[in-house]
Amino acid sequence: MVYYITTILVYGGVDAIACLGLSQQFGTAGVTNFGFIIFQAAGAYAAGVLSLPPDSANGAFQSYVGGLNLPFPFPLIGAALVGGLLAIPFAAIVGRRLRGDFAAVGLLVTAVMFNLLVTNYVPFLNGAAGLSLVPSPLQDVINPQSTGYQWGYSIAAVLLAFVTYRFVRRITNSPYGRTLRAMRDNDVVADSLGKNLRSLRTSSLVIGGAIAGLSGGLLVGFINLWDPQAWGYAETIVLFAAVIIGGLGNHRGAVLGAILVPLAFEEATRYIPPVPNDPGLVPALQWVAIGLLIVFFLWFRPQGILPERRRVIMGDRAGGAVAPLAPEVPSRGAVATAAVVSEVAPAGAAEDAASRTPPPDVNLPAQPEPLPVRVRRPPFAGDVILECVGLSRSFEGVHAVDDVSLSFQRARLSGIIGPNGAGKSTALAMLAGTLPPTAGRIRYRGEDVTALPAYRRARRGLVRTFQLASEFKRLTVMENLIAAIPDQRGETFRGAFLGRRYWGAQEREAIDRAAAMLERFGLSALADRYAGDLSGGQRRLVEIMRALMADPEVLLLDEPMAGVHPRLAHQIGMQLVALCEAGITVVMVEHELSIMDEFCDPVIVMAEGRVLAEGTMAALRSNAEVVDAYLVG
């Protein structure tokens, strides 16, 4: 009985640690590592060969590399190290440009192949038979068969699981964790805001791999054997099932999932008596049940049993735990807030009725107050800050952008108009680095940036927004804004690990700055809402604010006014003019001619991938070609 309980506890600890590693990797960072189990396997093998004597011992009945005979705790440390190091080459597969599902398949296949290799190549890790007689930690000091040892091991396993939980929670609740979650929600946008996806994914793989390796080392010290059967690719799916069922993005959920799926479902049912004449039936049905659990949960409760927690930041300041859509307090700020919120065009019928009531008459200031934006350079109008020469991009033979040369002057508000399919958004994407050009050069601040990836251009101040909704859905509005701030202290793994004492002060500044920004756009009341729950117009505002938080020097806006109430659009236009006066360069793709008329100079007209004309709107209106191509419609 004692052995049963202690075994369950050890397995529970091991499964919980593994699930926490996967939760960090998949739930927080969105890296779909279908090869997760090989990191656990690597940890187990590493701990095994580090603690085993050379393979000539015991009559040389098994063969393996290593055999270093190291005492505790080195095998366990080695397990985590090997798990982490093994993750580094995997970063190539989950690189920047590969579709998520392709990467997932690549990792799955890798897991299948590693298993095949280890099974077939006997000298490495004793092939299909696997390692046996792996020493238990401290077995020279205490008899591993004794009840005391069993209890000690199980308590240590549970403690280690708890430490792992505290560790992943610490890094998830840091700015680093927030950046990972932003990448999970929308990696292209995170890239365009200056986040280095490759390094973020690599660090997620390494951390998850080290945790998985630790779980393997812990397990092998207890069961004393490890073979390829223990880590088939399907074992990864069990861990995925656990994390999905427990709740994606919630580490407590991962622990719960570990208890429910691998532990309760697999280990505990191991003692169900086999069906006579068909010993394989129960295990086979277990696998079927795992498959059913995954599909059913993804369908009926995709958020899992314990859904991801919403991070309330402004709760106290806004005066309530959950800020209502339309604040009822008639203070000056609140009225302005209500006015702006209601001016945002509703996205759907489900829109809160309160936000559709007519706006109270508010006098907007003729000269808007400056936005809380850091301007990188002193205003210095006139020189060319961004230009492209011969820029082209074709999609399977279609020339979306064809030999376009443009130059944008510092501190000007330039507009790009043109009919649908003119190549405006494609041109913008190439300027920002989201899309590599087929031909042509791009110069920014006198430097050729054609080959620079988007995140590095964003770090130099070349920031874009997107035409389609691109908010980080499972981040609150406040988090969306803060996530865009460059160079946060807590944004690296090291910073996150050092904890709130290291990055807390800067975080408070960031929150203040974001709060000021929200107030200027009248969205303070929505600070703690999920950005994905907002209306279409509100999401556009969040996106503009987020781009401003990224300290842009050049702001590339792709239809920022689409779906925004005309009155608010006008207000945004005024803000953009103010930004230009402060020294920021704005390039705006827009369909609304009245906006162009009022704010943009110069205006560039594109059609069929080419630049048709450039000049003030007044001049363009007298250009017959332009009128034919665009303005008539």
Partner 1 sequence: MSLFVESIGFGLLTAAVLALAAVGFTLQFAVTNVLNLAYSGVMIVAAYAAYAVNQAGVSIWIGALAAVAAGSLLSLLLNNGVYRPFQRRGTPPVSMVIVSLGMLLILVFGTQAVAGPTNVSYVMNQGATLKAGSFELTVAQVAMIILSIVVMVLVHVMMRYTRLGKAMRATSANRNLARNCGIRTDRVVTITWLVTGALCGLAGAVFGMNAGTFGATSTDVFLVLILAAVFLGGPGEAYGAMLGALVIGLATEISASLIVSDYKDVVAFVILIAMLTVRPNGLLGARV
Interface positions with partner 1 (CB under 8 A): 32, 34, 92-93, 95, 97-106, 108-110, 112-113, 116-117, 120-121, 233-234, 237, 240-241, 244, 278-281, 284-288, 290-295, 298-299, 302, 396
Which residues pair with residue 407 across a beta bridge?
Answer: 387
Measured from the CB atom, the residue of 290 and 417 that comes closer to partner 1 is 290
Identify whether the C-beta of residue 189 lies closer than 8 Å to the C-beta of residue 181: no
* Nearest approach, Cβ of residue 298 and partner 1 (Å): 6
* Nearest approach, Cβ of residue 186 and partner 1 (Å): 11
Which value, to the nearest 10 degrees, does the dihedral of the CA atoms of residues 403, 409, 415, 419 take? -10
Measured from the CB atom, the residue of 239 and 313 that comes closer to partner 1 is 239
* Nearest approach, Cβ of residue 58 and partner 1 (Å): 26
Measured from the CB atom, the residue of 173 and 303 that comes closer to partner 1 is 303
Question: Within a 10 A sphere around the Cβ of 535, how many other Cβ atoms?
Answer: 21
E strand or H helix that includes residue 615: strand 610-615
Identify whether the C-beta of residue 140 lies closer than 8 Å to the C-beta of residue 51: no
Q: Find how far residue 430's CA is from the centre of its chain.
A: 23
Please state, in angstroms and rounded to a whole number, the distance separating the CA atoms of residues 273 and 211: 34
* Nearest approach, Cβ of residue 587 and partner 1 (Å): 26
The encoded tokens of residue 373 equal 């934006």
By residue count, the chain amounts to 633
Measured from the CB atom, the residue of 301 and 500 that comes closer to partner 1 is 301
Task: Assign 593 to helix, strand or coil.
Answer: helix
Task: Assign 420 to helix, strand or coil.
Answer: coil
Q: Find how far residue 453's CA is from the centre of its chain.
A: 18
State the alpha helices, DSSP H only, in 130-196.
147-172, 175-185, 187-192
The encoded tokens of residue 340 equal 């702006």
Computed on alpha carbons and rounded to an integer, the radius of gyration of the chain in Å comes to: 29
* Nearest approach, Cβ of residue 419 and partner 1 (Å): 18
The encoded tokens of residue 417 equal 């108009």
Measured from the CB atom, the residue of 288 and 516 that comes closer to partner 1 is 288
Identify whether the C-beta of residue 94 lies closer than 8 Å to the C-beta of residue 85: no
Please state, in angstroms and rounded to a whole number, the distance separating the CA atoms of residues 396 and 306: 45
Measured from the CB atom, the residue of 264 and 336 that comes closer to partner 1 is 264
Q: What is the DSSP string of 527-578?
A: TTSBGGGS-HHHHHHHHHHHHHHT--SEEEEESTTTTS-HHHHHHHHHHHHH
* Nearest approach, Cβ of residue 119 and partner 1 (Å): 9
* Nearest approach, Cβ of residue 291 and partner 1 (Å): 3
Measured from the CB atom, the residue of 114 and 153 that comes closer to partner 1 is 114
Measured from the CB atom, the residue of 19 and 294 that comes closer to partner 1 is 294
Measured from the CB atom, the residue of 57 and 295 that comes closer to partner 1 is 295
* Nearest approach, Cβ of residue 497 and partner 1 (Å): 28
Measured from the CB atom, the residue of 88 and 117 that comes closer to partner 1 is 117
Of 5, 13, 9, which Cα lies nearest the Cα of 164?
Answer: 13
Measured from the CB atom, the residue of 287 and 380 that comes closer to partner 1 is 287
* Nearest approach, Cβ of residue 211 and partner 1 (Å): 21
Measured from the CB atom, the residue of 61 and 102 that comes closer to partner 1 is 102
List of E strands, 371-484: 384-395, 398-409, 413-417, 439-444, 447-448, 462-464
* Nearest approach, Cβ of residue 172 and partner 1 (Å): 20
* Nearest approach, Cβ of residue 182 and partner 1 (Å): 16
**Which residue type, as a one-letter code, is found at position 633?**
G
Task: Assign 24 to helix, strand or coil.
Answer: helix
Of 129, 143, 155, 171, which Cα lies nearest the Cα of 218?
Answer: 155
Measured from the CB atom, the residue of 234 and 451 that comes closer to partner 1 is 234
* Nearest approach, Cβ of residue 285 and partner 1 (Å): 5
Of 172, 154, 255, 262, which Cα lies nearest the Cα of 493?
Answer: 172
The encoded tokens of residue 614 equal 């450039």
Task: Assign 310 to helix, strand or coil.
Answer: coil
* Nearest approach, Cβ of residue 482 and partner 1 (Å): 25
